[in-house]
């Protein structure tokens, strides 16, 4: 998730129970591109105790090979190639999900990178660009080039996040490819994770946006899958999570309005589990100052300490972009 899963957010998530491994934000790869210092910090300063895969996005094969080689000198779990980003400003450059339109280019790219990467080489993709005509052909390329892990989002690029997830296509991929498959798409709770695993027979799940809303989701999923009671989270604990986010991501050097907008990026997701009426989302979106924003958090999250945080997002409480923020969330 670009502009979200940086070192600071990873540290917050680790406090509540890390995933088995992390993927960095993507390193944008092009001619003469270097290693983005802030993204690199999520590798070099990782204290979560969990492995971190370095994610690349680009279309220049020589430059992808060059950057993969540079990253191999750092303590990474492997190199991950992004073939799934659905943001129009990304796929229009023929990178991310845009590459799913060109299996011949992918054949060359995967082959060259497989030769260049001595360790684990993984791929994250969707089931197609605007249809699934190339799906089986690309799955066969995953086999041909001995990819070590496939993370598969069960929608096409053009479907973004609006359609139902095609879990049947993820199940098809599980049967067709030789490597483990992680199922991705609408894994919103521990119960949802178990259902997706049962339906697809995938080796695991990849969780993105739901971890912004509920950082306890990894711990809860482990509990559910092992037959333990799933932890109930009360609203005051969510207020503590918001405060931890604020402290971890605060940048006093930037204007207050920008800080407020940055926090709203997180709160657009967190608010989906606070109340069924959407009152918290409405109040926080109207805030213009930090005092107004965190005052709204206190009113809605501390006034009813025995109120549980919703395990699944309340219907109709989808996150929407915040016009003020300069940050773009791309959950690929």
- Catalytic (active site) residue 85: yes
Is 154 annotated in some ligand binding site?
no
Distance CA(64)–CA(67), nearest Å, equals 5
Q: Which residues of 93-125 are buried (b: 16+ CB within 10 A; e: fewer)?
A: eebbbbbbbebeebbebbebbeebbeeebbbbb
Pick the catalytic residue from 85, 247, 297, 332: 85
Distance CA(35)–CA(106), nearest Å, equals 23
Nearest to 179 by CA among 267, 260, 114: 114
Is 209 annotated in some ligand binding site?
yes
The helix/strand/coil state of 199 is: helix
Alpha-carbon distances of 160 from 50, 127, 154, 165, 172, rounded to whole Å: 29, 11, 10, 10, 20
> Which DSSP state fits 284?
H
Angle, to 10 degrees, between the axis of helix 103-116 and the axis of helix 61-71? 30
Is 219 annotated in some ligand binding site?
no
**CA 51 distance to own-chain centroid:** 16
Is 213 annotated in some ligand binding site?
no
Tokens 């995933």 sit on residue: 19
Nearest to 56 by CA among 8, 120, 155, 122: 122
Is 155 annotated in some ligand binding site?
no
User: Which residue ranges are tagged as binding site?
Assistant: 55, 124, 153, 208-209
Catalytic residues: 85
User: Which residue ranges are tagged as binding site for FMN?
Assistant: 55, 124, 153, 208-209
């Amino acid at each position: 998730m670009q502009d979200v899963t940086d070192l600071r957010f990873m540290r917050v998530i680790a406090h509540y129970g890390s995933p088995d491994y992390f993927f960095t934000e993507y390193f944008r790869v092009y001619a003469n591109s270097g290693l983005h210092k802030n993204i690199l910090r999520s590798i070099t300063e990782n204290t979560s105790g969990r492995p971190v895969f370095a994610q690349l996005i680009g279309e220049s094969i020589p430059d992808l090979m060059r950057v993969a080689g540079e990253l191999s000198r750092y303590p990474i779990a492997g190199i991950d190639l992004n073939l799934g980003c659905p943001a129009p400003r990304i796929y229009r450059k023929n990178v991310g999900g845009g590459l799913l339109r060109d299996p011949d280019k992918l054949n060359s790219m995967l082959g060259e990178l497989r030769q260049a990467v001595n360790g684990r080489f993984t791929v994250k993709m969707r089931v197609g660009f605007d249809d699934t005509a190339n799906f089986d052909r690309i799955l066969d390329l995953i086999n041909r080039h001995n990819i070590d892990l496939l993370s598969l989002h069960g929608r096409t690029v053009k479907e973004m996040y609006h359609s139902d997830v095609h879990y049947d296509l993820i199940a098809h991929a599980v049967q067709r490819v030789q490597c483990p498959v992680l199922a991705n798409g609408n894994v919103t709770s521990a119960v949802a994770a178990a259902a997706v695993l049962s339906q697809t027979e995938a080796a695991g799940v990849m969780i993105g946006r739901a971890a912004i809303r509920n950082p306890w989701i990894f711990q809860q999923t482990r509990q559910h899958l092992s037959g333990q009671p799933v932890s109930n989270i009360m609203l005051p604990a969510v207020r503590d999570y918001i405060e931890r986010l604020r402290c971890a991501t605060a940048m006093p050097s930037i204007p207050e309005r920008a800080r407020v907008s940055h926090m709203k990026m997180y709160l657009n997701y967190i608010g989906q589990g606070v109340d069924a009426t959407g009152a918290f989302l409405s109040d926080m979106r109207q805030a213009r100052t930090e005092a107004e924003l965190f005052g709204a958090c206190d009113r809605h999250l501390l006034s009813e300490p025995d109120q549980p945080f919703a395990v699944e997002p309340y219907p109709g409480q989808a996150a929407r972009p915040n016009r003020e923020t300069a940050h773009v969330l791309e959950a690929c």
